[in-house]
Amino acid sequence: MEFIIQLTVVVVCLLFGARKGGIGLGLAGGCGMLTLVWIFDLQPGQPPVDVMLVIIAVVAASATLQASGGLDVLLQLAEKLLRRNPKYISLVAPLVTCLLTMLCGTGHVVYTLLPIIYDVAIKNNIRPERPLAASSIGSQMGIIASPVSVATVSLAAMLALSGSAAIDFITLLSLTIPATLCGILAIALFSGFRGKDLRDDDDFLAFINTKDNHDYVYGTAPTLLNSTLPRSSWLAMGIFIATILVIALLGAFPALRPHGNGVPLSMVLMIQMCMLCGGAFIVLFTDTALAAITKNDVFRSGMVAIVAVYGVAWMADTLFSHHLLQIEAALAGVVSDHPWTYALALLLLSQFVNSQAAALAAVVPIALAVGVPPALIAATAPTCYGYYILPTYPSDLAAVQFDRAGTTRIGRWVINHSFLPVGLIGVGVSCCVGWLLAHAYGLM
């Protein structure tokens, strides 16, 4: 009974923090911590310091990339690709947004591309809902497949700290990258045929029947094609991508890392050093203004993620470490007989906290403690993206707003919206592929 009451406190804090959004999730975790420690006399758990340090290093490098203008280079290249293949926008758009997220480590890059995707679709008489919904989902699916995202580095750090030698950083990516790309392909194929064609949509045809509405729907969109980006922006992008490649090589070939006592240095530490060094090289060779680094969207969203992971993970560790023996006794049989329950719990919690990193930080340590195999955790990692179930995430809402034709919508019952089927297909296919790959690699 005591555990149920304490768990209720944790859930209430999560719901309150999720409702407030942003940094409120981490702050609510602090309220939960104080309640558990002061009122219920629980011993404080361990905050995820190593995970937070990795996140800080990655965010610092990514924010430096944006401040240097390197991110604009990637966005310009993405726009060229989208406008070069207008008939295949439903296939190309989600792939582009996913790849950008994988490179940059954040799904927030999608906001710049959404009006471009809409413009390409509507000018070619393609239902905008098809590429817009898929692109919003694709941008978030790419997070767990990115070597520099908060969610991926957090998961890699937690698996490494658990003592799992089989699932290292490279092995994790060898599961999540192909699984995610297969999921993207699935949603692209589905999106190419969903909904009515514009010429057969009576509501759309009635809406554009007036000149004002027609001009509004087919109006111009912002573009980066005519922008001449400085050489320093290209150099910054090159440094950032080179840093990612160095991290990948160090993960794939442990012999390249420094050795202490004959043991290769941990990839958790190598990621931190390489990302900080990459950011420093960008500043050194591009003369990027240091003040601009802390003022951009990537830095702000990254700091919010750190606070969220801090508060949520610390609160969860405090509760579950105190009741670990009870939880193991209650869940060991369930997890053993029905391993999919772990993935379902992660999916649902992600919807509540609106953060893949925060969901992983709360669920993975518990899963490892009760005996969930690390290979299963890695194979089903895409289920950390579940906040497409309700249309509350900013990228989904932005897609609705950018669709001036009104085809991307939220239904009367809220749950019947444009993103739910796309998300279910994408995450579902990704998990199935991850599961098959884990078996093919001999991990399970």
pLDDT digits (tens, 9 = 90+) for 39-59: 999 999 888 787 788 778 888
User: What's the mean pLDDT when you consider all of the chain?
Assistant: 85
Task: Check pLDDT > 90 for residue 188.
Answer: yes
Query: Residue type for 321, please?
Result: S
Cα 277 from Cα 264, distance rounded (Å): 19
Task: Check pLDDT > 80 for residue 100.
Answer: yes
Cα 348 from Cα 192, distance rounded (Å): 28
Q: What is the pLDDT of residue 22?
A: 63
Section 124-150 average pLDDT: 91
Q: What is the pLDDT of residue 328?
A: 63
In this predicted model, which residue has the larger pLDDT, 147 or 414? 147
Task: Check pLDDT > 90 for residue 276.
Answer: yes
In which band, very low, low, confident or very high, does the pLDDT at 184 lie, cut at 50, 70 and 90?
A: very high
| Residue whose entry in the numeric block shows the structure tokens 């490179």 | 103
Q: What is the pLDDT of residue 329?
A: 66
Q: Is 258 left (phi over 0), alpha (psi -120 to 50) or beta?
A: beta
Task: Check pLDDT > 80 for residue 308.
Answer: no
pLDDT digits (tens, 9 = 90+) for 312-366: 778 878 887 787 777 666 666 666 677 778 888 889 888 777 788 888 888 888 8
Cα 198 from Cα 193, distance rounded (Å): 12
Report the percentage of the chain scoring pLDDT > 70. Answer: 95
Q: What is the pLDDT of residue 380?
A: 94
H-state helical runs in 163-230 = 169-191, 202-207, 211-217
The mean-pLDDT minimum among 27-36, 86-95, 118-127, 412-421 falls in: 412-421
Q: What is the pLDDT of residue 383?
A: 94
Which residues make Cβ contacts (< 8 Å) with residue 154, sequence separation at least 6?
48, 51, 54, 55, 309, 357, 360, 361
Section 10-15 average pLDDT: 82
Question: Phi then psi for 259, rounded to 5 degrees?
Answer: -115, 125
